[in-house]
Amino acid sequence: MIHQQHKPLIELRNVSKAYPVASGTFMALNDVSLTIESRKLVAITGKSGSGKSTLLNIITGIDRPSTGSVTISGVKVDKLSETELASWRGKNVGVVFQFFQLLPTLTILENVMLPMDFCNTYSKKERRDKALALLEKVNIKEQAGKFPSALSGGQQQRVAIARALANDPPLLVADEPTGNLDSHTATSIFELFAELAKSGKTVIVVTHEREFSAYFEDTISIADGMVNAQISVHA
């Protein structure tokens, strides 16, 4: 049905992640298999310590699975070398963290231009305009020349999203992006995500804030490293 309109973007097959701990090994993820389709806004929910961040890190290639395979748009992410990963990630995944990870000595505009610089996307002249356009999209263009410290938390998070979108990646992931924001600001961020999903991006957000569940088309709920349920809400 509607499912068939969306091609599977992300496929995890029997992914486990084990950490060595004092008492042996700890399974942060235990035989997870899941599929995420493109152009959707997907939530990953679960209690603290359930393995949400681990799952997200494995999707973005920040972490490698202990066993199992990760395929994103046909690319076997777990097989890429560190260098290949860096450039693949730069072009294909935008990452937003809970804390505002802007580089403090670069202006807002420069922060957004940095991924283009690293991945050598667009011509040098275009970069500035692209970055400004992104800042306009997240409603923060007026602050382009300022340094991150001059911005509020919500504003910084918007810049982080603009930066994550710099190379126009098909996939955007955010790990508790609103954890540090008041609920009003958080709402505007989720609205932004919904908009992005509508415009064709796949957006995966880790959150445990129930009140925003309405925004999500898919919700992957995990507990103790295992996927509890993958609920799809069809609009």
Residue 95 beta carbon to another protein: minimum distance, rounded to whole angstroms: 5
Integer Cα distance of 209 and 218 in angstroms:
15
- Establish if 23 lies at the interface with ligand ADP (CB under 6 A): no
Q: Closer CB to ligand ADP, residue 50 or residue 60?
A: 50
Residue 192 beta carbon to ligand ADP: minimum distance, rounded to whole angstroms: 22
- Establish if 176 lies at the interface with another protein (CB under 8 A): no
- Establish if 164 lies at the interface with another protein (CB under 8 A): yes
Identify which range of 18-26, 84-92, 97-105, 183-191 contacts ligand ADP by CB under 6 A: 18-26
Q: From the list 45, 50, 53, 167, which residue makes contact with Mg ion (rule: CB under 5 A)?
A: 53
Closest-approach residue to Mg ion (CB): 53
Integer Cα distance of 95 and 100 in angstroms:
11
Integer Cα distance of 158 and 94 in angstroms:
13
Per residue in 165-204, is it b (16+ CB within 10 Å) or e — as a string? bbbebbbbbbbbbbeebeeebbeebbebbbebbeeebbbb
Q: Closer CB to another protein, residue 64 or residue 137?
A: 64
Contacts of 54 (CB under 8 A, 6+ apart): 17, 28, 29, 63, 225
- Establish if 19 lies at the interface with ligand ADP (CB under 6 A): yes
- Establish if 223 lies at the interface with another protein (CB under 8 A): no
Both tokens of 170, joined, read: 């098909």
- Establish if 143 lies at the interface with Mg ion (CB under 5 A): no
User: Under the rule (CB under 6 A), what is the footprint of ligand ADP?
Assistant: 19, 21, 26, 28, 46, 48-54
